[in-house]
Amino acid sequence: MDRPDRIIQGMAVDGHFRIIAAQTTTAVETAREILDLAPVAADALGRAMTGALLLARLLDKDVRNQFVSLRFEGNGPLGTVIGDGTVAGNVRGYVANPVPQDPMLDVESAIGNGSLTVVRGTPPAGKPYTSQILLGGTGIATDLTRYLMRSEQIASAVLLGVYNKRDGVAAAGGMIVQAFPHAPEEAIRTLEDRVRKAPSFSTLLATMPIEEAVATVLTDTGYKQIDEGREIPVAYACTCTRERALAPLALLERHELEEMIAEGGTEIVCQFCGRKYEFGREDLFALTATHDA
């Protein structure tokens, strides 16, 4: 029986590197079903969601509300792709165009050239930290590797992958290898070479548990998994609420609200989970009162 989605952690090369790896197969398949994604859209979103989870786990693990949001805005047919992950293991995603016309597109072409915006925050306190880089056109994993080097000045390597089959997502996941300060340069080069020559991570996950997949990638590096009791379960979970769905309506002009009132109300659909929120005349009348204040 397949083991559930989870995040595991480990060390390599005498403790000079930390390893964070995630199996996200069920979460990505859930996103595919909810958002009705074509294979290339599921591939792109799965990588973005997994990347967000892995980056979130680099944050302070004692603060459960911390999150990372990755927003890929390219000129490719997918449009905007968003992956949100929390330090607690919750993840969700969104693709502007879930079914591009060309079924043969690869992820890089489907996203295209543009920018990656990374948002890190701890709701509800404090203002989120936002940074941005240009997309390199060489893949989501490579863009995240560039982001980590630029934002943290720490040598890192990122592997991400989604393995699609005719009936859905067969495997999805990824891993981050990150050097601690004072890691020997020779060891850094060795790990970079190992990751560069590694088999497809999603293909490995389709045939073996994530523990074995990580160990296969990091063969001969002294990799050791940290206590299994520190595994983090992963789940597709949305943070939408009725109050959050109502908030954008408060920004509308009075005449727009009055048009909705005349039509009997309106419906807001969450772009991440598809949940529907109905707002009737009374809800909208209450919003018009703010324009009279």
How much of the chain exceeds pLDDT 70, in percent?
Answer: 97
Tell me the CA distances in angstroms from 104 to 41, 100, 108, 109, 241, one per residue in order.
Answer: 11, 10, 12, 10, 37
Please give the average per-residue pLDDT across 32-40, as a whole number: 95
- The residues pairing with 121 across neighbouring beta strands, listed in sequence order, are 67
pLDDT category of residue 226 using cuts at 50, 70 and 90: confident
**What confidence tier does 3 reach under pLDDT thresholds 50, 70, 90?**
confident
Residue 136 has what pLDDT?
A: 86
Q: CA-to-CA distance for 256 and 47, rounded, in angstroms?
A: 38
Structure confidence at residue 229 (pLDDT)? 66
pLDDT band with cut points at 50, 70 and 90 for residue 1 = very low
Is a pLDDT exceeding 50 seen at residue 273?
Answer: yes
User: CB atoms < 10 A from the CB of 221, how many?
Assistant: 21
Q: Is the pLDDT of residue 105 over 90?
A: no
Please check the confidence at residue 176 and state whether its pLDDT lies above 90. Answer: yes
Cα 92 from Cα 102, distance rounded (Å): 25
Residue 181 Cα distances to 54, 159, 184, 185, 189, angstroms = 19, 21, 9, 11, 15
272 contacts 238 by C-beta, under 8 angstroms: yes
pLDDT in the model for residue 190: 86
pLDDT band with cut points at 50, 70 and 90 for residue 194: confident
Identify any residues that bridge with 120 across adjacent strands, giving them in sequence order. Answer: 68, 129
291: pLDDT confidence band, cut at 50, 70 and 90?
Answer: low
Whether 293 shows a pLDDT value over 60: the answer reads no
pLDDT above 60 (res 24): yes
Domains of the chain (ranges; CATH) run: 6-236 (3.55.30.10), 242-292 (3.90.1280.10)
**Residue 141: pLDDT above 70?**
yes
- pLDDT of 169 above 80: yes
Instruction: Report pLDDT for 152.
Output: 80
Q: What is the sign of the dihedral through the CA atoms of 209, 211, 215 and 217?
A: positive
The pLDDT score that the predictor gives to residue 2 is 65
Distance in angstroms (rounded) separating the CA atoms of residues 293 and 120:
35
CA gap 23, 11 in Å, rounded: 18
Dump pLDDT digits (tens) for 13-23.
999 999 999 99
* Cα separation, 143 vs 77, whole angstroms: 19
Q: What is the pLDDT of residues 50-104, one digit of tens each?
A: 999 999 999 877 777 899 999 999 999 999 999 999 999 999 999 999 999 887 8
